[in-house]
Every structure is written in structure tokens, then in C-alpha cells.
Amino acid sequence: MKYIKWFEDLRIEDVPLVGGKNASLGEMINALTSKGILIPSGFATTADAYWLHLRENNLEDLIKNDLLKVDKKNVETLKEIGARIRKVIIDAPFPKKLSDEIVEAYKEIKERYKNSTFAVRSSATAEDLPEASFAGQQETFLNIRDEKNLLIACKKALASLFTDRAISYRIDHGFDHMKVALSVGVQQMVRSDKASSGVIFTLDTETGFKNVVLINSSYGIGESVVAGLVNPDEFYVHKETLKKGFRPMLKKHMGAKKTKIIYSDDNEKPTKTVDVSEQEQKQFSLNDDEILKLAKQALMIEEYYSEKKDQWTPMDVEWAKDGIDGKLYIVQARPETVHSRKKETVLEEYILQEKGEVIIKGKAIGRKISSGIARVIETARDMHQLKEGEILVTDMTDPDWEPIMKHAAGIVTNRGGRTCHAAIVSREIGIPAIVGTSNATSLIKTGEEVTIDCSNGEGGFIYKGQMKFEVKKTVLKEIPKISTKIMMNVANPDEAFGFALLPNDGVGLARLEFIINNSVYVHPMALVHPERVEDKDVLAKIEDLTFGYEDKKEFFIDKLAQETGTIAAAFYPKPVIVRFSDFKSNEYKKLLGGEFFEPEESNPMIGFRGASRYYHEKYEEAFALECLAMKKIREEMGLDNVKLMIPFVRTVEEAKTVIQEMAKYGLKQGENGLSVIMMCELPSNVILIEEFSKVFDGFSIGSNDLTQTTLAIDRDSDLVAPLFDERNAAVKKMMEMAIKGANKCSRPIGICGQAPSDYPEIAKFLIDCGIDSISLNPDTVLKTILALAS
């Protein structure tokens, strides 16, 4: 056949013939099916078929002349001309030799895949630029079941080369409309309407961090995820330890998944959107084995394309699970187009200088801040109302919105996840967006001044009013090297991938209590002994949080392992020192169910905290869960860069007892390279540093508590707060003694307290004393390195 190519006969070099999408499918079918990746097959019409249809119907000059009248700034004109061109392409009869070949190929594939329906996809190409695939600019038609509707869909696909967004895209990127052709791909459909589907990126879409796979998933056909119709489930998997055979499931976020797209019996409307049951909404749309299998397949695709291009090539992959055979399929893959093109020579940091009233929260896209006048637009029909520099607020966007999105200073949507249309476009044009807010269009009013803040990890905030912010730019190659190791204090897993891009030697402090407070929410003893929780409302909240877990203790272990493991994965293989929980009793009490397990203390700062909890009957069962989570990170996830740290150790005997408790739950010091570090934050730690050196593998100075315990100042007391100063001579003497004692015993010693982040002179003093490492708050890393180097 002259105008048809089977996917099996295509290679990536055939982009000029069948476009990037179809050429990529052919390449993968030939190279990767032998490795166990399932890819539905089909056929493609060629670029010659497109030109044949135009020329036999004398459409070239008509289209060319119409396009000369396009003013991309005038949305109405663009819409009118685009509609006219599409209509003439659809109304023109297919050349008989082309329609005959399409029908012949369809009969053959129908025979090959009995009882299947088919997707008709558009794959654009530019003859003068083989890389151009114009992802997302053209139309796709699903659940095609007969010859008549196939031919209609093929013609509509050809016409979609002239959607408003495609015309606008080509103008913006300098492509000659008349040198771009369109290939139609006809591909067997996977029955994801009876299961789930979604998108995979082989990097973190917000920071460009290379060592994770991000999977978005929801029920039904994948269009709901791509178009942003739902807030999908979100999964992160660590690449390096996945390659080594571990199960590095990092963060798992459950999306709302309120609707799904399924097949319908109506040929005019072959798909329909239906509600998802509450039971299904509360469950993940993939299990762990499926998540890891998809991650492995995405990694194989990335490695194949990277090898072929001789450079790292992150991928954007669409996948689907068949609800009949239960198998996972890859239905499309193309190179990621935002971070892969960046040359990271300048680090940009957006810093909010004031905070106002939070209107609403959502998922942050990008790491920028923007402010302006809000413009709430309900439908694409009214998108022309958006003015340059306004904040677009809408339910969701689809490709029809693209001509005006580039004029916005930021985008806010009710629906969508990190891989939805609004997220992808905002990254490409370099503006911040906050998606999946649920009801931004109700809470934000047109004409209202707002600020979009995407600078603090995954959570995005929309503030009332225009907040002041600054942009700091640092040329990374100008950052000097210094001999002292510079580590970071990282509390929030959501920000770990971004922090890992800063110059660093690892993490000097990751606090478990922060993760428990912000991700687990429940007091661990309430999961061990729910029978002691006497409040029915609290029990109901715990039940809701832990839905799907028969053993509620597993919820704590999983959540703590996933969130802490995210920090470990971000910095792998550099060391990450994780400190066991160091809440005070009054802080533990604030957790769900905490009031039923915590004592009343008059001075919690020097009370039931740190090491003394871990072997005490009131908390030892909870400490067991912390240990099991850390064991999971090191052994199941393979993140053996995690070192463990014990806080507030009062005596040498207590130190030995805690080491024994850890061993009970599989955390044996020295086994599989496990190091155990002690927080050096009490006078007893400094005075007996040589004795503690016989128990621990190293030390980290906690300057906050060392100041408190040296000067006998309660950090919670406002009355004596003015006397609290880490630069006090007695505190400095304590730090100097600790460093010299550790050096004498050949034990590494660092500092993870606040002092060097706040006072560069303290950092210099510690280096002069011979400290091995300084762990800083991320926002002070660059300025401290520059200060120390000078």
C-alpha cells in the first residue's frame, strides 16, 4: 500500500513520513516488545496521504491564503479562520485510493485484534525539523468501531492540523504552515475504561530532578488525566534503587478521581463521563506491583531513547491498564520538552517577602511566584476576555485555551494534576500555575488582586492581594568549592527534589516529627491501641485517614517510610541523617488521639522527650513503628544512604539501651553499613564525649538545645528569651570541647542546629575548631558557602 505504513514497519527516522507520535510507536514496537513492554499495534497514514487529500481537492491555495489573514492576537479572527479551514478539509471527499487503503488496513487489523475498538490519533510532522511532533496540538478520537466512523475520524484528524491552538503554536515557533503535514495513527484500544490509565514522566515535572519516575493514574480512559478532568493519584519511584532490584515506592498521593471516561454505545458520542463510586475514590487506582512495573517500563523506554540520542532523554509516556486481561500497556511515548531543553547554569530562587490571607491551596506547578488581577473564565467561549498579565482562573483548560494562555501571568484551575494540560502548558511557557484547587472559581472573584506562590514545594498557595517577592539568581558555576562539608537541614519531603539541586554534601538533619505532623497526623500509639481512644469523632477521623489498611500500624510505617524515603532518594547516594522523633509531650498531644497517651508536664522542654521515650512503656511500641519504617527505607527501598540519629540522650547507659531497642526491630548498628549518630546537645554529652564515642558512630551538635541546657533557658519561655544566644561564650566553649573530643576519638562531628544558618561567624568559628560538616537551612546554603569561601 502506498499511503499506509504498519507500525511494525516504522522507525524513529520516519518522523518526516508519519510524524513523531507514530514514528515513536513503531520504534518502540520494534525495539522494546522483546523486552516485555506491551504496545498496542496499528497503522499510520503517511504525509503523502495528507498532501494527496489537499491537492486532489484543490485546497492548498485556499488554506494558504486564509492563513495569511491570521492575526494571532485576535482570537476571534483566529477562531473563524481555523473553523473555515477545518470545514473544507472535512467536507472534501477522500481520494478513493486513500480511502480504499484505509479500509483495507482496517479490515486487516480488525481481523488481527478481534472484538477490539480503535483510537484514531493525529501525528504532525515538519519536513524541515524532524524533532517537531507538536504534542497535544491535534485531536484524538476514541472507541471507533466501524469503517464509516473510521473514515470520518481520519478526516477530522487531518483537519485538526488547523485547530486554533495548532495554528497559534506554529506561528509562535516559526513553522511554515504549508511545510507541516499530518499523519493519522489507527491503534488498537486497551480496555482502560474497565480499569485505569494515565501518564508517566521520567523526571520530577516541577524541578527537573532526574532520579525519579512520576506516575499519574486515574480510573477509565486516559483522556481524563491528560485533559485535567480529574485530580489523579500520584506516585513517585526512585530510579537508582529500582535498577538494583529494590521496591523504592516513594510518595503516594491519593487523588479525588471523582469521574471517569468509559465507552458508550453511541457512535456519534463513542465515550461518556460517569461518576466514580466513593469506595473507589478512597482507593488507589494502581497497586504497588503495578506502579513498580510501570516505572521499570518507563525507565527502559528512557534508557533506550537516551542511548539512541547519545544524551539523557527524559520521557513523557502514556499508559493504560486493560480491565479484561489485567495487563499494562504503553500506548504512546515522546521526549519531555521542558526540563530536557534547559541549561541549568543559573539558579533562580523566588522568595515571598510577606504573607497575607490564603484564599485557597492546590498543587504547585513550577517554582515561581506571580501576582496580578484575577480573571475568572468559566468556558473557552469567553477566553478572549483575558487581558495581558492577568491571572487566569478557570475550572480546567484543554488545548483550545492555548492561544490565550501565554498572555496570563499565572493559571489557577479547579481540576487537574501535575500532568494535566494546564500544568504542561504553564511549564512550557514559564509561568506558575496552581491546579486541583477544587473550587477556585467560587472563591476568587474577577478583578481581585491575587498572588500565586509556587515557591515552597508541591503545595501552592493563592493569597489575597499582591504580595512582595524577590527573585535571587545565582550562577552555579561560580559557586566556589570549600573543604568543609556543607549539608542541609531538610524537613519537608515536598521540597527535597528542588533542594537536592543546590551544592551540597547530603542531609545533616531530616526530622521525623515534622513528617509525622504534616503527613501522618495520627499519634502512633492511637494506631497501636485504638481501644484507648475514647473520642468517637477522633476514631472516625483516624479510620478515614487509614482507609484500606486492616492493620492501622502499617499506615504509619508506610507513610513515614514513603515521605522520609523521598528525602533519602533526593540526595542518594549522599548521606541522609534521619533523626528519630523529638516531639515534646505537649506537641505529641496535638496529634490525632494524642491526648489519650501523653502525660501532663510542667516543663516538656526538659521532660519526656528524645531517647528516654524510645524504651519507655508509654512509647516503646510507637518507637517500634519508627524503627520498622526506617528498616523499610534501607532494606525494601534500598536507600542505604540513611543514617539514624538519636536526640536528647542523657546518659551513656540510656544510649546503650536505645541501641538495643533498635536492634530488636532489625536496625543493627554496623549491619548493612548502618551508622548511628548522636545529637550532641546536653552538657553530659560534651563532658562524656569519649564515653559516648564508644557507643555511637558520630555526632551532630544541636546548638538550640545545647544553648538551652548550657544556659538553663527554657526555649518556650518569653520571659528569658532575650538571654538565648548561641554565640554566648559558654555555648561556644561547649561546642569547641565537643569537636575536640570527637576528633580525639576519631569520630566525625557536624552541626545541624540553627546557629550557623543564622550567624556566619559561628560557621567560621566551628570550621576553625575543626568541625567536619555544617548542616544549614536550604535558604542559607549559597550565602554561607560564599561567606566561608571569602
**Average pLDDT of the residues in 199-223:** 95
Contact (Cβ atoms closer than 8 angstroms) between residue 204 and residue 86 = no
Contact (Cβ atoms closer than 8 angstroms) between residue 206 and residue 42 = no
User: What is the DSSP code (8-state) at residue 156?
Assistant: H
Least Cα distance to 655 among 678, 672, 636, 675 occurs for 678
Residue type, 292: L
Residues paired with residue 261 on neighbouring β-strands, in sequence order: 273
Q: How far apart are alpha carbons 112 and 108 in whole angstroms?
A: 6
Q: Average pLDDT over the chain, rounded to whole?
A: 92
Residue type, 122: S
Contact (Cβ atoms closer than 8 angstroms) between residue 684 and residue 692 = no
Burial class (CB in 10 A: 0-12, 13-18, 19+), 199: buried
Q: How far apart are alpha carbons 584 and 734 in whole angstroms?
A: 24
Q: What is the pLDDT of residue 519?
A: 92
pLDDT bin (cut points 50, 70, 90) of residue 716 is: confident
**Average pLDDT of the residues in 514-534:** 95
Greater confidence (398 vs 712) lies with 712
| Residue 573, preceding peptide bond in cis (omega within 30° of 0) | yes
724's grid cell: 538565648
Q: Where in the sequence numbering do the catalytic residues fall?
A: 421, 752
Q: What is the pLDDT of residue 130?
A: 44
Q: What percent of the chain has pLDDT over 90?
A: 74
Report the predicted TM-score, pTM, of the whole model to 2 decimal places: 0.88
Secondary structure (DSSP) of 471-485? EEEEEGGGPPP-SSE
Residue type, 517: N
Q: What is the pLDDT of residue 185?
A: 96
Judged against a pLDDT cut of 80, whether residue 728 lies above it is answered with: yes
Burial class (CB in 10 A: 0-12, 13-18, 19+), 719: exposed
Residues 6+ positions from 222 with CB-CB distance below 8 Å? 192, 197, 198, 199, 318, 319, 320, 331
Of 290-304, 419-433, 684-698, where does mean pLDDT reach its minimum?
419-433
**Measuring CA to CA, how many Å separate 726 from each of 342, 420, 703?**
42, 48, 7
**Average pLDDT of the residues in 691-712:** 95
As a 3-state breakdown, the chain gives helix, strand, coil percent values, each rounded to 5, of 45, 20, 35
Q: What is the pLDDT of residue 125?
A: 83
Q: What is the pLDDT of residue 714?
A: 86
Secondary structure (DSSP) of 732-765? HHHHHHHHHHHHHTT--EEE-SSHHHH-HHHHHH
pLDDT bin (cut points 50, 70, 90) of residue 343 is: low
380's grid cell: 473557552
143-172 pLDDT, tens per residue? Answer: 999 999 999 999 999 999 998 888 888 888
13: how many CB neighbours lie within 10 A of its CB?
11
Residues paired with residue 579 on neighbouring β-strands, in sequence order: 511, 645
Q: How far apart are alpha carbons 91 and 551 in whole angstroms?
A: 62
The alpha carbon of residue 151 and the mean position of all alpha carbons in its chain are separated, in whole angstroms, by 40
Contact (Cβ atoms closer than 8 angstroms) between residue 650 and residue 616 = no
Q: What is the pLDDT of residue 128?
A: 47
Q: How far apart are alpha carbons 427 and 530 in whole angstroms?
A: 45
Strand blocks (E) in 336-417: 346-352, 358-365, 369-376, 391-394, 410-413
Contact (Cβ atoms closer than 8 angstroms) between residue 190 and residue 322 = yes
Contact (Cβ atoms closer than 8 angstroms) between residue 234 and residue 216 = yes
Q: What is the pLDDT of residue 136?
A: 59
276-331 pLDDT, tens per residue? Answer: 999 999 999 999 999 999 999 999 999 999 999 899 999 999 999 999 999 999 99
Greater confidence (73 vs 26) lies with 26
Residue type, 302: E
Q: What is the pLDDT of residue 537?
A: 96
Q: How far apart are alpha carbons 202 and 212 in whole angstroms?
A: 6
Judged against a pLDDT cut of 80, whether residue 460 lies above it is answered with: yes
Q: What percent of the chain has pLDDT over 70?
A: 98
**Measuring CA to CA, how many Å separate 235 from each of 250, 251, 253, 563?**
7, 6, 6, 12
Residue type, 632: K
Least Cα distance to 169 among 208, 114, 126, 220 occurs for 126
Largest CA distance in the chain: 93
Q: How far apart are alpha carbons 52 and 45 in whole angstroms?
A: 11
Q: What is the pLDDT of residue 344?
A: 64
Question: By three-state DSSP, how is residue 247 classified?
Answer: coil
**Average pLDDT of the residues in 119-140:** 68
477-504 pLDDT, tens per residue? Answer: 778 888 899 999 998 898 899 899 888 9
Greater confidence (602 vs 627) lies with 627
751-782 pLDDT, tens per residue? Answer: 998 888 888 889 999 999 999 999 998 888 88
378-391 pLDDT, tens per residue? Answer: 988 888 899 999 99
**Measuring CA to CA, how many Å separate 363 from each of 220, 390, 569, 778?**
22, 20, 21, 22
Contact (Cβ atoms closer than 8 angstroms) between residue 335 and residue 316 = yes
User: What is the DSSP code (8-state) at residue 601?
Assistant: -
Judged against a pLDDT cut of 60, whether residue 134 lies above it is answered with: no
